[in-house]
Every structure is written in C-alpha cells, then in structure tokens.
Structure 1
Amino acid sequence: MVKKSLMICLIGLMSIAAKAETYYVDSSAGNDQLSGQSETQAWKSLQKVNSVKFMPGDRVLFKRGGIWRGQLVPKGNGTIEKLLIFSAYGKGALPVIAADGKFQDAVLLKNISNLLFEFFDISNTDTLVQEQNTGPVGVRILSEDIGTISNIRLSGLYIHDINGDNKKGSKEGNGIFWDCRGPKPSNIENLIIENCRLLRVDRNGIRGNGTFAFRNNWFPNKNLVIRGCTLEDIGGDGIVIKAFDGALVELNKLFYTRTRAKDNAVGIWPHSSDHTIIQYNEVAYTKNVNWANDGQSFDIDGNCNHTIIQNNYSHDNEGGFMLVISDAIDEKSRMTTNNIIRNNLSVNDGNNRRRLFNFALVTDHTRVSGNIFYNQSAEPFKMELIDIEHGIPKDIVFEDNLFLYSGGVIGMFTKSAEQYRAITWKNNVFKGNIKGKSNLLQVTETKSNSVSNKNLNEYPWMFLKSLNLKK
C-alpha cells in the first residue's frame, strides 16, 4: 500500500510539473513581484520575463498597447506537440519592444526550439547617431555551439526603424536575421517567417549568415519558408536566402529596396544555398541611382545549386530583372548551376542601369522559359537585354519567352559572338523596338505571341490586364 500511494503521489507531481502555464506582462499596471498567471497578476518588465525559463506549452502574453524599452531574450523550449508561445493579449496596438540602440538585438531567440513568436512591434533605433555601427537587429534567431535548433515560427511581426550601416559588412543592420556559430557545427531547421511587415530597415530586410555555408565546412540550415511578408523602404537587400538547403520564398511584396545602399543589393536572392524556390512574389522599385552592378529584382548568386524563380511579378526595378553569378570557384564555393527562371512577368525593369539580364562570371545550366519581358517606357534610350561579363557562362537556354518593347526604349543585343555562343534560343518572340538579333547564334523564332497562351486570371498574368497588351 505504501509503494502504491507513493507511486500515485509521484504521478500527481509529474502531472503538476508538466502543466502548461499562461503568463501575462503589462508594462503599465504589472508588478514583477506577482505570479504573472492572470491579467490582474501580470508581470511588468522584460527583465522579469528574461529571468524565467519557460516550459513546453507555456504562453507568455504581452498586453497590447504596452511599451517595453530594452531587450527580450526568452529562455526555455517547447516541443512539437506543445510549442512555447510568445504573443499578445487584449485590444489595441501591437505590444512594442524598442531596443533604442542600447542592445544589438531587440529580440534574441538563442538556442530555442519549438517556438511561436507572434504579434509584436519591434524597433531598434539609436536617435543619437545616423547609423549604428553595432550591426543592430530586430529579431535574431541564433544557433550557437549546440547542433540543431528547429521548428521556429515568426508571425505577424511589425519590424521597423533599424538604423544600421548600409555598407556590406559586420555593421549592417537587419530586420530579421538568422545566425549560426560554432565551434560545434550548428544550424536551424524548419524556420517559418510569415505575414510580417518590415519598414525602414538599414541595411537588410530578412537574411542570415553563412558560417557553415562553405562546401568544405558544409552544415546548412534546412527548410525555410518566408511567406506573405511585406518589405518597404529597405536600405539594401530585401530577402537573402543564406546557407539553406530547401527554402521557399512566396507571396511576398517588396517595394523600394536598395534605397540607401551604394554597394550591391537585390530584391530577393539566394547565396550558398541549394534547392531554393522563389515564387508568386511582387518585387518593385528596387533602386539603382549610381550605375552600380545590382538593383535587380532577383539574383541567383554564388555557391548555389538548383534554384527556381517562377511566377513572379517584377516591375520598375532600376537595375534590371535578373542577375546570375558565381563566386570564385574553389574548395569552398561551387559553381552556380541548375537554374530555372520561368513564367515570370517583367515590366519596365532595368531602365536606370539599362540592362535586363546580367550573367556574370562562369555559371552553368540556366533555363529561361515562358517569361514575358515588357517595356513601355516613353524615354528613348538603349537597353542591353542580355549582358555577359567577367567570363563566359555555360549552357543557357532561352525558350518560349516574349520580349516586347513598345515605348521609347530600344532593346539591344550587342555582345560578341563568343559571349553569345553560350546561349541557345528556341521559339522566342521578339516584338517592337528590338535590335541586334542578327548578333545572336542558334536562334529559332516563332511568330505566335505567347500572351495568348497565358491565363489572365492566374498570377502573375493577371497584371497584364492593366497593360493593354495585345494578344
């Protein structure tokens, strides 16, 4: 009987220990001396929250309308069945976490797995300086000397006003940043970033680092989804897929990136990543005011393999539509290869840099098919349609694309026969103000207009309705 009673007590204690709790945090009426386990017993400060190690299934809720100045560093983990949740309660504006430049990261999610983090207003502005030189971040996901952290979801965040340096390097700021450090190889698996808004971030909107992205030290992150986010007025790069094997970037809107950076920056691009899919995004008004190399809507960058860019709407990006490039090829970095660029709509791209495509250094096996490249700009100037520089790419095929230049812009093919030898042309349509086709090699052309084959109720072809583009 004694053993049976003891067993019943132990089971009861385990049940109590496993019970998930809900904690409330109220910046105006809270008190850190209270239990935090009801709205009337709410905690007050970030310091109190940071001091507690939370358990699977716990919910930590911040009162809407509240303002917390400082840094949030959650502790604890969830499980796949019982996530650790940080969210909001009440009515009104999102709860504010403002680091004010006093911390590198407004929110630091370090070595945490099975976490849902949602519905916060996050900023990191030092009003005393024009640019912080500390690499300020809104939300950092950090896997450090741990192996693998997994199953992290960021949702419904408003991240804004981060005044980092706009030069590439350690001082640049980021809205959302994933970070992996050693010495033990460490990575992130199953990261979802959804329905977030980023505004006025210098330098980068959403990106990460590449500590284990070199091919001789390859321990990539796995399974990234960036979906339904809006990025506006980003000083440099918009979304950079760094050191991931298996990323999906879809249904995002990026307006006015590279607004302040003077070095290379693009709307959406992978680097040191494999099996990336970028689809159903709208990228517009990427800047290129200084004739720099970038400013495109998309880029397939160095050390990448099996990238697909499809069904996107790209318009009014000053640097062009697409960059395809390799880094230096060595034991650390493989040639960029197996690229697919299909079924995209490009409108008025490249008008300032005056080129549409840029192939740089030596890349291999790029398929460009089913796209419409349309320019109706009235200003008269010449635009290089396919720019090839710093090396000859291998095995490029353009098939079933429509190039239509109907305004004052003249689309040009002016490269050498040696450069164009890498490109095979199959069943493309060239209409309007296009010159230099005689310079191309291996060309087959069709008279049929590929617009008639598009379903104008599908993305991105639905935008053709407003262009008065004749079938």
Structure 2
Amino acid sequence: MKKILLLLIASCAALYTYAGTYYINNKTGNDASDGLSPAKAWRSLATVNQHTFMPGDSMLFARNGVWEGQLAPLGSGDAKAPIVFSAYGSGALPEIKAGGHFRDAILLRNLQYIVVEYLAASNLDSSVEFQKTGPTGVRVMAENIGTLHHIRLANLYIHDINGDNKKGTAEGCGIFWDCRGPKPSNIEHLIIENCKVERVDRNGIRGNGTFSFRTNWFPNKYLLIRNCQLEDIGGDGIVVKAFDTAMVEHNKLFHIRSRAKDNAVAVWPHSSDHTTIQYNEVGYTQNDNWANDGQSFDIDGNSRNTIIQYNYSHDNEGGFMLVISDLINKDNVKTNGNIIQYNLSVNDGINRKRLFNFAGVTDSTLVKGNIFYNNAPKSFTMEAVDIEGGIPEHVVFEDNYFVYTGKTPVVFSKSPKQYGHVNFINNAFSGNIVGLDNLPNRKDAVAANGQKQYPKKPQFPWNFMPVKLKSTTQQFPKDLYRSVTAQ
C-alpha cells in the first residue's frame, strides 16, 4: 500500500511538472486535435479558453492569424515556471478582435505568473459611437482573491477601442488593471513593456482604485511600464493608479487627450506612493477647448513621494506640469513629497497658456534643474506658475532656466500672498519674462561658479536641446548632466 501511495504521489508530481507547448491556427487548425504541434494545432479561442494550463505551458498563436472573440484563459504558472501566451511563425502579430461583443479582448482574471507577448488586440464596435461597457484591449483582474504575483505584458499591439471619452464607467482602455473585492485584492510585480497603444478612447494604460482610499489601503505593488509608445489616445495616456512603487520610463506619448473634453493628462499618478517617471518623451497633448489639464505630467491627488525627472516634454498645449490635491479627508492624504527635476520643456502651454498649475493645497514640491524654453511666434500671455483652489505649501523652484525668446511672454501674475509659500532660488530668467517683482521669496542666480559648458554629445533629454537655446544660454549647472550617467 505504501508503494502504491508513493507511486501515486510521483505520478501526480510528474503530471504537475510536465510543460506542454500548444498551438492554434485559425486557418489550418482543428479543435479535435491535441494542439501539441503546429500540424495538430487547435483552431478556435473556445478550445483555448476551455483548457486549464499548467505551470511551464506555452500557448502559441499563428502569426497572420485573426480570431474574433475573447481570449480568457484558465490556469496559473508558478515562480519557477510561468505560463506563456505568445506567437509562432512569421508575419503580422496574431490578433484577437473583440469587435464590441466582449468587454475585454484579452481577460486575465485571477491568474498569476503569466506572460502575454507578441499579440495584437482590438475592440472596435463600429455600429455605435462608443461602447457603454468600458471596453479594453487587455484587462488584468484581481477579484476577491488576495494578491496575484508576476504578470508580464510585452510586445503587444493594442489598437482601435471605442469607449466613452467622458470620465465614468464607460471609459475605454488599452491596458487596464482591475482590483475588486469584497476581499482586498491586488497585484504585485506587473510589467508592461515594449507595447504599442493607439487609437483608443479614452485611456491608454491605467487601472482602477478600489483599494486606494487610505481608510481601505491595499495598493498594488511594483509596477514597471517601459519602452511603450502611445499615440492618438482620446483622454489620459498612462495613469499609475493605486500602486506603491512604480517606474514609468523610456516611453513615448504623442497626441494624448485628442478627443476628450474633460480633464486628461499624458502621464500621472493618482492615489499612489513612490512613483518615478523618467526618460519619457511627451509631445502634442491637446487642449483645444481651453479646458483644464492637457499637460504632459501631473502629480495628482492622494499621492506621496513622486519623482518626475529626465523627461523631454514639448508642444503640450495644456502646459508642462500639474500638481494637485483632492479633497483632503480621512480617505485622501495631501499630495506631498514631490520632486520635479532635470526635465527639458520646450514650447509647452501654447494653448492653455500656462506652464505650471498648482491646484488645491499640496505640500513639499521641489522643482530643480529644469529648462523651460519657449520660442513660440504667437503673441499671447502665458502664466508661469498658476495657483488656484488654495495656496500650495513648501514649494521651491531652484536652479531652473526660464528662457522665453519668442513673442510669447511668460508672466508671474499671482499676488505676493499667493506666491508666499513659493521660494525661487538661483533660477535664471532670460527673454520675455514679466512680473518677477510679484515673487516675495526670490533669490536670483548670480555669476556661475562650478558651471560647465554645454557638452558636445549630451544624452537624453539634452540631445533635444533647441539650437537657439544653446546659443541663448551657453552655460548650465553641472547637475543637469546627471542624466548622462543615470541610465
């Protein structure tokens, strides 16, 4: 009996550790086959969705294949053997087309140790102006389960999703993390990399905040979004929501807020702690209706210890930066611990007509070593540091360059009282600058000691320095070149 029991245990272990590679081909496949070779590939998503995958398994989709429906697999990997959904063959990425018949083209519900790579997904229902379900390309869901671990989305092409461009439950999203109760549930170690997201209404990459209230604080942990490109997004670009420790780096975002009429920004955290946003290029965020937002970056409500550094921001109509607190109560802490450093901003605020916007009562914001350059030919007045809805506390602008060489003046038009908690230390102002006398706590830059000439081969973002800026301001603080060695 003991030998039989040992044999059963060994057999179960062998079954558990066996890793299979499955194939699906929408042209030559057969659902009656076992799927374990290209010659015996499955054909339909229904067969894939009915199969429970085991740690170490791979599910490979034939390139050039298109499947109408939803990919909603079953089964989780483990720390040593994730489950991989990927592609085989040559040609275009395999595509999952939900077509508005499913809320999510790809749904990963309560799965962990999962890799989804080299797939395309769309969710366009052309029969309606927008879908009312809140459609997505990929939804990662942790529902009433506790903590899910290690999910990687890589080399995906997410496109053409027609959700509602108004904030609310019908917003569409390219990639969306979704954490629900009643049991506190979250995701640890979510990686989104090398993905392209375009023509999505309303959001590019973001998640929800079911457990983001400080009275019910159970945040996701360890988010990495890198080397992604987002273009023609109706509303917000990348929103870090309900995360503790996130890195957003080396992404490109163009033409964000291209259709929304309400508030939207290219990259921002909300209800998140320890977010770093660096080495991104953000351009052409729109604000053609003169509404709020439209900036390249935002440090939003209920967020602590955010760093925004080494980014190249240009031609964003709503401005460069928003710093805001939500209504401060037991659920939402004051936005604080903000660092905005060593960024290059070129011609931001050309439509909303402001560079910075502080809204509500925020605390502890350091703005250091940035270059704000504008040579716009259009003649209008741009607010340098707009303050509304309360006076921010402990704000320091230090070692920044404000260089306005065109017909657009930048003005400091708020009262000395409003600027009372804003300190300007060792900043350089040149060109069309108005209203500096309104800054009660201002110590201008003096003759440079320890500065160095502009380097011949600067790295990102300084390699985007406009030629006229180089000739206008010949010297920059040594700290500006920290980005040369920081990558």
Q: TM-score, normalised by structure 1?
A: 0.97
State the partner residue of 1:188.
187
State the partner residue of 2:215.
216
State the partner residue of 1:166.
165
Q: CA deviation at 1:15?
A: 1.9
Q: CA deviation at 1:441?
A: 1.1
Q: List structure 1 runs of 4+ shifted beyond 4 angstroms.
A: 2-6, 447-456, 465-468
Asked if 1:460 is matched to 2:465, the reply is no
State the partner residue of 1:49.
48
Aligned positions of 1:398-409 closer than 5 A: 398-409=397-408
Q: CA deviation at 1:177?
A: 0.4
Matched residue count: 470
State the partner residue of 2:291.
292
State the partner residue of 2:418.
419
State the partner residue of 2:18.
19
Asked whether the equivalents of residues 429 and 448 of structure 1 are also in contact (C-alpha less than 8 Å), the reply is no
State the partner residue of 1:469.
470
Mapped partners of 1:145, 1:452: distance in 2: 56
Classify the secondary structure of the residue corresponding to 1:332: coil
Mapped partners of 2:24, 2:451: distance in 1: 56
Asked if 1:155 is matched to 2:174, the reply is no
Mapped partners of 1:358, 1:208: distance in 2: 25
Aligned-pair identity in percent equals 59
Aligned positions of 1:257-406 closer than 5 A: 257-406=256-405
Q: CA deviation at 1:89?
A: 0.3
Q: CA deviation at 1:465?
A: 5.3
Asked whether the equivalents of residues 315 and 349 of structure 1 are also in contact (C-alpha less than 8 Å), the reply is yes
Q: CA deviation at 1:16?
A: 4.0
Asked whether the equivalents of residues 66 and 96 of structure 2 are also in contact (C-alpha less than 8 Å), the reply is yes
Change (3 A) 1:389 1:36: same
Give deviations 1:301-354, integer Å, cap 9, x for gaps.
000000000000000000000000000000000100010000000000001010
Asked whether the equivalents of residues 162 and 175 of structure 1 are also in contact (C-alpha less than 8 Å), the reply is yes
Asked whether the equivalents of residues 118 and 157 of structure 1 are also in contact (C-alpha less than 8 Å), the reply is yes
Consecutive unaligned residues of structure 2, counting only runs of 5 or more, are: 475-487
Q: CA deviation at 1:9?
A: 6.7
After the TM superposition, which of the residue ranges 7-16 and 400-409 deviates more from structure 2? Answer: 7-16
The one-letter amino acid of 2:14's match is S
Mapped partners of 2:104, 2:3: distance in 1: 52
Asked whether the equivalents of residues 385 and 412 of structure 1 are also in contact (C-alpha less than 8 Å), the reply is yes
Mapped partners of 2:69, 2:49: distance in 1: 11
State the partner residue of 1:443.
442
Asked if 1:142 is matched to 2:141, the reply is yes
The one-letter amino acid of 2:158's match is I
Q: CA deviation at 1:7?
A: 3.6
Asked whether the equivalents of residues 355 and 382 of structure 2 are also in contact (C-alpha less than 8 Å), the reply is yes
Asked whether the equivalents of residues 69 and 99 of structure 2 are also in contact (C-alpha less than 8 Å), the reply is yes
Q: CA deviation at 1:11?
A: 2.4
Q: CA deviation at 1:5?
A: 7.5
Mapped partners of 1:43, 1:114: distance in 2: 24
Mapped partners of 2:348, 2:210: distance in 1: 34
Give deviations 1:218-259, integer Å, cap 9, x for gaps.
000000000000000000000000000000000000000000
Mapped partners of 1:422, 1:10: distance in 2: 69
Mapped partners of 2:426, 2:101: distance in 1: 58
Classify the secondary structure of the residue corresponding to 2:296: strand
The one-letter amino acid of 1:461's match is W
State the partner residue of 1:206.
205
Classify the secondary structure of the residue corresponding to 2:417: helix
Q: CA deviation at 1:3?
A: 5.1
The one-letter amino acid of 1:438's match is D
Q: TM-score, normalised by structure 2?
A: 0.94
Q: CA deviation at 1:379?
A: 1.0
Consecutive unaligned residues of structure 1, counting only runs of 5 or more, are: none
Mapped partners of 2:443, 2:8: distance in 1: 81
Q: CA deviation at 1:8?
A: 5.3
After the TM superposition, which of the residue ranges 17-26 and 140-149 deviates more from structure 2? Answer: 17-26
